[in-house]
Amino acid sequence: MSFYDWLLALHVIAAFALVAALTVFWSVAVAARGVERPADSVRYFRITKPANVAIIVGTVGTLILGIWLAIDANAYQVWDGWVIASIVLWAVSAETGRRGGLNYAEAEKQAKRLVAEGRNDPSPELVALLRNRNAALLNVLSTAAILLILVDMLWKPGA
């Protein structure tokens, strides 16, 4: 196996980590929309701990390894249009995902605080955070950008 093959394999593994983490986050976000009690939401947030690691590894790994691949390959350059498009989409996905995730981090913090205070009655504030339309929209944009990157990587327009 050549060095390029190793880079490509690691890049694909990072992309799988990213998509796996997104799948976990979407599963929890959809399931948590029906939650009203803090203790129930804390259970969902426990599931996301490994996904938090996977999203960081996947996000950083895909960018670094993708740029490295473009530098290492004779057929591609970092300034090729499809590579630049992927980097721009990566930035859009990372930032919209980060902003959407802030809302869920706040919901987790509030749920843990309520549980620590011994309050497990339905919390309208927690429900509002879990059902926040702006956070959901940001996560939709982040996921759409990831899907567009996948299309860009497979099609390589202009290459």
**Confidence check: pLDDT of 159 > 80:** no
Token pair in block for residue 126: 């927690």
CA separation for the pair 17, 35 (Å, rounded): 27
What whole-number distance in Å separates Cα of residue 87 and Cα of residue 81? Answer: 10
DSSP-derived 3-state class of residue 121: coil
Q: Nearest CA to 120 among 52, 53, 61, 36? A: 36
Q: Cα separation of 115 and 11, whole Å?
A: 40
- Tally DSSP H helices, then E strands, for the chain: 5, 0
Res. 69: pLDDT tops 80:
yes
Instruction: Determine the angle formed by the axes of helices 3-32 and 133-155, rounding to 10 degrees.
Output: 150
At residue 110 the predicted structure's pLDDT band, cuts being 50, 70 and 90, is very high
**How many other CB atoms are found less than 10 A from the CB of residue 19?**
17
Tokens of 47: 């599931």
| 158: pLDDT strictly greater than 90 | no
Lowest mean pLDDT: which of 11-20, 29-38, 59-68? 29-38
Query: How long a stretch of residues is the chain?
Result: 159
In this structure, is the dihedral angle defined by the CA atoms of residues 57, 62, 67 and 68, taken in order, positive or negative?
positive
Residue 157: its pLDDT value, please? 87
Over range 4-14, report the average pLDDT. Answer: 96
pLDDT-based confidence at 74, cuts 50/70/90? confident
Mean pLDDT of 98-118: 95
pLDDT of res. 98: 96
> What is the rounded average pLDDT of the residues 14-27?
96
Do 22 and 55 form a contact (C-beta atoms < 8 A)?
A: yes
pLDDT-based confidence at residue 134 (cuts at 50, 70, 90): very high
